Amino acid sequence: MKTLRKTILTAVLALAASLAFTTAVSSAGIVDQAVPLKLKVVTADGKKRIKVAKKLPVLVSCSKDCSFKTTVTLITPATSDPKSISGNLPAGNILTLRYRLTSYGVRYVKRNVSGSKLKVKFSAKDTETGERVIKSRTFRFYK
């Protein structure tokens, strides 16, 4: 009985050691590839349209540490008004861009909802590899 237990224990230990050895060898042979930089540009509620308000929030994020430049442009039938911001964004953090309108601007956009839109151009550069990715989104309005 004791010999059977010793034999089973030895077989289990040998199996565990061989699995550990094959895992170590196979993981050493794999070459790590750089994960590409991914950008997200969405509204605060996740919809494709933004409700007309005094502050128009848009969320941007990077999958890796990046330096960025963002241009948010309000396009209306009468004019277009761009605003820019730049800086650094750590991986996984979310930056909220709030385009501010005056009271007159809110009334004007509400009167011209079909002809107005908010365009966001988000350009990010990966701090590790130097890879540059650009993402543009255009959001329409609703009352």
DSSP characters over 48-105 = SEEE--SEEEEEEEESS-EEEEEEEEEE-SS-EEEEEEEEEE-TT-EEEEEEE--HHH
pLDDT at 127: 92
pLDDT at 26: 44
pLDDT at 14: 57
Do 94 and 70 form a contact (C-beta atoms < 8 A)? no
Nearest to 116 by CA among 86, 88, 140: 140
Question: How confident is the prediction along the chain (143 residues), in pLDDT tens digits per residue?
Answer: 566 555 554 555 555 555 554 444 445 556 567 788 999 999 999 999 999 999 999 999 999 999 999 999 999 999 999 999 999 999 989 999 999 999 999 999 999 999 999 999 999 999 999 999 999 999 999 98
